[in-house]
Amino acid sequence: MTTTFQLGGELTVSRIGYGTMRLAPQESGFDTSVFHVWRAPADRQAAVAILRRAVESGVNLIDTADAYALGETEELIADALAPYRDDVVIATKVGAVHPTPTEWLPLGHPAYLRQQAELCLRRLRLDHIDLLQLHRIDPAYPLEDQVGALRQLVDAGKARHIGLSEVSVDQIRAAADIVPIASVQNLYNLTHRAAEDVVEYTASRAIAFLPWFPVAAGAHAAATGALAEIAAELGATPVQVSLAWLLHRSPTMLPIPGTASLSHLDENIAAARIQLSDNQFERLSAITAGVSA
């Protein structure tokens, strides 16, 4: 199993990346089932340390979005990773608004998408975005208009590659008629596997698949479950085995686990060194097949 992938056929990235959503703290007094991602980390130096440890440990794919902390997460990335700019691939997203801690709404007006990309460039202090992803398809506007706006940014040299998030195979095909699609970012893990057809399709087209929420908690992660048994066999943790299962599942799979803990970051990165046997992979797949959390 390789530990790197050629994103867009040309950018070499680590197969385990780092997702920055969890850098922002949960807001108190709101629905805890929703990721708030509303304010920048209270401990900025700790967040900088996380980002730098990730890169220094070999992670060079950093995923973020313009809506995370209303843009402050992008500013944090620019500050933290300025010394490493030539060594990292930064992916960001536009096309979702976050007007309150618990509201996430698609907004795909083409002019808005282009404006947000410009703001991403300013906050990240870049002259182009390595991977610009459409956060959500907005049903209020034709898909071709939304993806067409991203194509304009590629043509202008402001975006290098384009990705999509939470899409079907048909939507990937339609978007690819407008601009080459380098990545897809859908919810997918051991217990959320509704996107199996998208995983298969992206693998067949050498499109990166970035599973968000790659490590799920639930019955499968209990101390006596198959995940724990296989973790014991490998001398690993259940989290690491969950990530190893994803890496085994598809050669284009690029998990982007996020954390605000240095120890958890190290644990996640180490998962890239775990090799599941075919039997172990099948045991995990069979037990969790069809389960949703």
Q: Is 203 exposed, middle or buried (0-12, 13-18, 19+ CB in 10 A)?
A: middle
Q: Is 228 exposed, middle or buried (0-12, 13-18, 19+ CB in 10 A)?
A: middle
- Contact in structure between 162 and 187 (CB atoms under 8 Å): no
* d(C-alpha 133, C-alpha 131), whole Å: 6
Residue 140's CB is within 10 A of a number of other CB atoms, namely 10
Q: Which two tokens stand for residue 166?
A: 């939470």
141 is catalytic: no
* d(C-alpha 54, C-alpha 51), whole Å: 5
**List 18, 68, 141, 188, catalytic entry:** 68
Burial 262-274 (b: 16+ CB within 10 A, else e): eebbebbbbbbeb
Q: Is 227 exposed, middle or buried (0-12, 13-18, 19+ CB in 10 A)?
A: buried
Q: How far is the CA of 40 from the CAs of 26, 73, 126, 133, 274, in angstroms?
A: 10, 6, 20, 21, 33
The residues annotated as belonging to the active site are 68
